Structure 1
Amino acid sequence: MGTRELKKQIFSLLKQPDIGRVLSDIQVFPAKEVVNVLFSAICQVDELLRWHGISAMGVMVTRLADADLEEGRIIMRRLLWSLNDESGGIGWGAPESMAEIMHHHEKLSLEYIHMLISYARPDGQELEQDGNYLEYEILQRGLLWGFDRLCERRLGLLVEKGLPGDILPYLRSGDHVVRGLAARLCGRLSIRSARDALQLLLADHAVITFYQEGEFLERTVGDFAGTALKGLA
Structure 2
Amino acid sequence: MSRMRNAKTRFRQLLEAPDWRAHLPEVAGEGLSAVGPLLSFLLLSPCLRHRAAVALGAVVAGLEREQPEAVRNIMRRLMWHMNEESGNIGWGIPEAFAEACCASDLAAKDFHRVLISYVIELEKDDNFCDHDVLRRSCFWGIGRLAQARPALAEWARPWLRRGLEDPDVICRGMAAWALRQLPPDMMDAPLLRRLAEQGPDAACEIFDGEDMRPTSVKELAAGGKERS
- What TM-score comes out, normalization by structure 1 length? 0.85
CA-CA distance at 1:170 after TM superposition: 1.9
Within 5 Å, give how 1:184-203 maps onto structure 2: 184-189=177-182, 190-202=184-196, 203=199
Counterpart of 1:95 in structure 2 is 94
- Seen in structure 2, the aligned counterparts of structure 1 residues 172 and 123 have a Cα distance that, compared at 3 Å, is closer
Q: What secondary structure sits across from 1:218 in the alignment?
A: strand
CA-CA distance at 1:124 after TM superposition: 5.3
Counterpart of 2:34 in structure 1 is 34
Q: Which runs of 5+ in 2 are unaligned?
A: none
Structure 1 position 131 matched with structure 2 position 132: no
Residues 11 and 27, structure 2, Cα contact 8 Å, conserved in 1: yes
Provide runs of 4+ in structure 1 moved above 6 Å.
Answer: none
> Which segment is superposed worse, 54-63 or 214-223?
214-223
> Which segment is superposed worse, 69-78 or 148-157?
148-157
Residues 176 and 208, structure 1, Cα contact 8 Å, conserved in 2: no
Structure 1 position 142 matched with structure 2 position 131: no
Structure 1 position 205 matched with structure 2 position 198: no
Q: Which runs of 5+ in 1 are unaligned?
A: 229-233
Provide the rounded CA distance (Å) in 1 between the counterparts of 2:112 and 2:27.
Answer: 26
Provide the rounded CA distance (Å) in 2 between the counterparts of 1:85 and 1:224.
Answer: 30
Residues 164 and 191, structure 1, Cα contact 8 Å, conserved in 2: no
CA-CA distance at 1:199 after TM superposition: 2.3
Q: What secondary structure sits across from 2:110 in the alignment?
A: helix
1:183 partner letter: A
CA-CA distance at 1:19 after TM superposition: 3.1
Counterpart of 2:151 in structure 1 is 156
Provide the rounded CA distance (Å) in 2 between the counterparts of 1:117 and 1:99.
Answer: 10
Output one character per residue of 1:102-129: Cα deviation in whole Å (capped at 9) or x when no partner.
Answer: 101112211111111111113457xxxx
- What TM-score comes out, normalization by structure 2 length? 0.86
Aligned residues: 220
Output one character per residue of 1:39-75: Cα deviation in whole Å (capped at 9) or x when no partner.
Answer: 111122x223212111111101211223211111110
Aligned identity (percent) is 28
1:21 partner letter: A
Within 5 Å, give how 1:34-113 maps onto structure 2: 34-44=34-44, 46-113=45-112
Q: What secondary structure sits across from 1:165 in the alignment?
A: helix
Q: In angstroms, what is the RMSD of aligned CA positions? A: 2.1
